[in-house]
């Protein structure tokens, strides 16, 4: 876990994933670090993480701490009733979608010059593309 400011970045915590030693999954470690940050008085404008950590339980954990989050989402993520992100057309201003098991979020689609497509979701109210 790293705190980023305008001119500095400061390591806050790190974990070595070794389930055989401590019995914890990578997602257990993620949620433990969120709680640690809260206990240390951190008040981030948003918690940012990649799709490897965007499980439903992790998104809810950030929300339960009253923190905004910005996270990568996999292209096959279920939204609305039975849609996946890759099935939808995205305007530049993003789409407000219902994430199954969570609630309403806004998702943006970014396509790199090499053709790679990333889906970035957030619980920030009315976010701009630049915020994400």
* pLDDT tens readout for residues 34-69: 999 999 999 999 999 999 999 999 999 999 999 999
Domain boundaries, the chain: 2-122
pTM of the complete model = 0.90
In the numeric block, the tokens 């709680």 are attached to 35
2-11 residue pLDDT tens: 877 778 887 8
Token pair, residue 47, equals 């918690």
CA separation for the pair 45, 49 (Å, rounded): 13
Which residues lie below 8 Å from residue 14, measured CB to CB, with a gap of 6+? 1
pLDDT exceeds 80 at position 99: yes
CB 71 within 8 A of CB 122: yes
What is the token pair recorded at 7?
A: 């001119």
- Is residue 107 scored above 90 in pLDDT? yes
């Amino acid at each position: 876990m790293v705190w980023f400011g305008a001119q500095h970045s400061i390591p806050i915590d790190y974990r070595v994933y070794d389930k055989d030693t401590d019995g914890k999954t990578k997602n257990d470690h993620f949620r433990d670090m969120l709680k640690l940050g809260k206990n240390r008085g951190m008040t981030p404008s948003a918690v940012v993480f990649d799709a490897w950590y965007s499980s439903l339980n992790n998104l809810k954990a950030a929300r339960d701490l009253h923190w905004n989050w910005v996270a990568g989402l996999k292209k096959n993520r279920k939204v609305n009733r039975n849609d996946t992100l890759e099935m939808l057309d995205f305007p530049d201003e993003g789409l407000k979608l219902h994430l199954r098991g969570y609630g309403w979020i806004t998702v943006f689609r970014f396509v790199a010059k090499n053709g790679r497509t990333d889906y970035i979701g957030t619980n920030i109210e009315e976010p701009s593309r630049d915020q994400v």
